[in-house]
Amino acid sequence: MPGGWAWWATPPRCRGSVLVSAATGETGRDACRRPADRTHVPTKDFCSHFEAATRVEPPLEVCPTCVETGATWVHLRQCLACGVTACCDASPNRHATAHHRATGHPLIRTAQPDEDWRWCYADDRLYLAGPAGYETTGD
């Protein structure tokens, strides 16, 4: 992948769970804050699933499936096709990815209040909010 960002897939069921800055070695939330020394090359060559406009209600503050089972979660994601809020791949149950596999809904966004990014499961592509809208490093 070009530039200083890598989207890790370890193992494939965990794809999209950890963002790593090659420049600083930061992972997770710290890397998502887009350090000033990052060197990715942004592009507007978006996949066919991407939509900048959000057509779902605001995300919940819990993973409902985890609450039902008494499980915990690390971070939350929201499906942009139907609005379901679910836990991330760093969480024990990985409900967001399970939702994608069950429904085929391709696009999610972070439900963390201090982050703004989207992920397309179908095209394995990350979209970061930039000064002129969303950017992706593409392929």
What is the DSSP annotation of 13-61?
GGTTSEEEETTT--BHHHHHT--TT-----B----TT--SS--SPPPPS
- Please compute the mean of the pLDDT values over residues 80-90 and round it to a whole number: 96
Please tell me the predicted confidence (pLDDT) of residue 16: 39
The full set of domains in the chain, from first to last, is 5-135 (3.30.40.10)
- Write down the number of H helices and E strands in the chain: 3, 8
What mean pLDDT comes out for the span 32-46?
Answer: 51
What does the block give as tokens for 11?
Answer: 């193992």
6 has pLDDT over 50: no
pLDDT computed for residue 64 by the predictor = 98
